[in-house]
Homo-oligomer: A and B are copies of this chain.
Amino acid sequence: MPKNGAPTRTRILDAAEALVIDHGYAATSVDDVIAASASSKGAFFHHFASKQALADALVERYVAADLEMLDSGLAAARAAGPDPAVRAVAFLDHFVGLADGLMGEQSGCLYAAVLTERQLLTSQTSAPIATAIRAWRDGFAALLREALPAGSPIDVDDLADHVFVTFEGAFLLARSTEDPSHLRRQLGVLRALVETALAAGPQEERR
C-alpha cells in the first residue's frame, strides 16, 4: 500500500481545485473534497497538515501551470518574427486561441477565488499569485517596450497588467452571464485595441 501516495495526493488536489474554483475556499469543506476525490479523512490529513496547507499546495501547483502558459505565449511571440508590434500582438493572439479550451476544462480561475478571501490573503497563500502577476507583467512589458510608439501616453507596465485584468474580469463576466465565450471575446478586444495602439504612429507626428 505505501508504494506511492502521489496519485491520491493528485486526486485530492484535482477535486479540491475544481471545488474551490466553483464554490470558493471557505464554502468548500474538507469532507466535500474527500467525497469528491473518493479518499478519506486519513488520506487527506496524511497528505496535508491542514486545510490551509491544501490551499498552499493548490496555489503552488496552479501558479506553476500558469507560468508555463505564460512561457508558451512568450515563445509564440518570439516565433512570430522580428517585428516588435507583430510579436506583441502574437502574444495576445496565442491566448485568444487558447481561451475556449481553458474555459472548457473549468469555467473559472483559482486566483479570483483566492484573492476574494481575506484569510488566504493574510496567510502567505496568495504570495505566489503576486509573483505570477509580476511575471506576466514583466514578460509582456518587455515585448511592449519595443513596440509602443514613442510618446505614447500609455504606461507600459499598466498596459502589461491589463492582460491579467482582462483574464480575471472575463472569468467573472463569463460566470455571471454563463457564457464561456466571453474569455475569448474579451481577449480579442484587448488584442484589437493593442494592435491599433501599436499601429498608431508616434504621438508627436499625429495631425
Number of copies: 2
A123 close to B (CB within 8 Å): no
| Interface contact B112-A189, CB-CB below 8 Å | no
Is A31 in the interface zone, CB < 8 Å from B? Answer: no
A155–B181 Cα distance when bound, in Å, is 13
Instruction: Pick the contact of A172: B111, B153, B177, B200 (CB < 8 A).
Output: B111
A110 to B112, CA, bound (A): 13
A169 to B111, CA, bound (A): 11
Minimum distance in angstroms from A107 CB to a CB of chain B = 11
Judging by beta carbons under 8 Å apart, are B27 and A176 in contact? no
16 contacts between A and B (CB under 8 A): A22-B118, A27-B118, A112-B172, A121-B175, A126-B176, A130-B177, A133-B177, A153-B192, A154-B192, A158-B189, A161-B173, A162-B166, A164-B169, A165-B186, A166-B166, A168-B168
